[in-house]
Structure 1
Amino acid sequence: MTGCVIVFPIAITFYITWCFIHFVDGFFSPIYAQLRIDIFAHLGPRIAQLARQEVYHMISTSSSSTAAAATIRATLFAAPFLLWPTSLQEVYLDANNFTSIPAGYFTGLSSLQILSMSQNINLDIWVFPSELTEASSLVTFAAGNVNLYGSLPDVFDLFPNLQNLRLSYNNFTGLLPKTFFCIWDSEPLA
């Protein structure tokens, strides 16, 4: 019986909310149709623009950020990584207090030239993203103070254009890989 006392008011609340949403939709939809206003009309072109986007810059948000900025900050890495357009060339995510990066998040960024994400000190520990090797055009990779750990993979020969590399203030272990020195040598190591 006590279960009904709890569940019944919740069910009534959901029903009233559902009815209110239908009422508002039924009231405003004909008005929008009469005025020939399509609130979703701009979605298509915006998606097309996103697919051709070349630069993504996430402005640093402080602890006194607005609720909207905090929501964006919290959900950026929660979004599926398939949302990154393949034409993306520059990504700036510095100093945003992210807490995690899902595995495979940088998959498909074959045109990427700059990835800058330093000073995200609240990130959970994570390893060098192996999917970054798809970005053979990478010129700059700045990931200082982002809680990277473990050993560096032997993949630096896959970045022939790499000129700027910042991996300071992380927790790497082991020796530097042989291909790490290929970044600055004109000939690969044997």
Structure 2
Amino acid sequence: MTTLENRPGTALLVVDVQVGVVAQAYRRDEVLANIAALVDRAREQGTPVVWVRHSSDELPLASEQWQIAPELAPAPDEPIVEKRYGDSFEDTTLEATLAEQGVGRLVVTGAQTDACVRSTLHGGFVRGYDVTLVSDAHTTDDFSQWGAPTPDLVVAHTNLYWQFQGGPGRTADVASTADVTLGA
């Protein structure tokens, strides 16, 4: 139901699953295993997989921290979109990459739930994409010492509110790794 014309396809978006981003992440191993299972399923079904990789002062380009987590490996033909802002669309090649592949629906996974994942969910939605959040394939660190809720609550709240997001001509929904549809 996307508002993007001639874009019936779906892409699996893997946001910032990098060594330095997920090192201390909530339920890290389970989340990465779920993302790996989704990547395998997408590849088997011919669904494009698009990787997003953040760089910053804390994640310098080409550093060990900046690398994609070793449990995951982009295939040589899968695009890696480099970014410096929370929203994966902001000042990146993501929109052009998705348009080239006829994608109008995003299935979103990754880290940090309360930062880049959330920004990307909203960024895609306001740009006209249908956006599905995979409920058990996103994670965050514990920032509660700075006043944030604990990671379990951040993940639960994001899953809760995203299922009620709405807008004309597009959909937002939440599905588990086992239940998400990767096809168009």
Q: Whose Rg is larger? A: 1
Greater fraction of residues in strand: 2
TM-score normalized by the length of structure 1: 0.28
**Highest RCO, 1 vs 2 (Cα 8 Å, sep ≥ 6):** 2
The alignment's TM-score, normalised by the length of structure 2, stands at 0.28
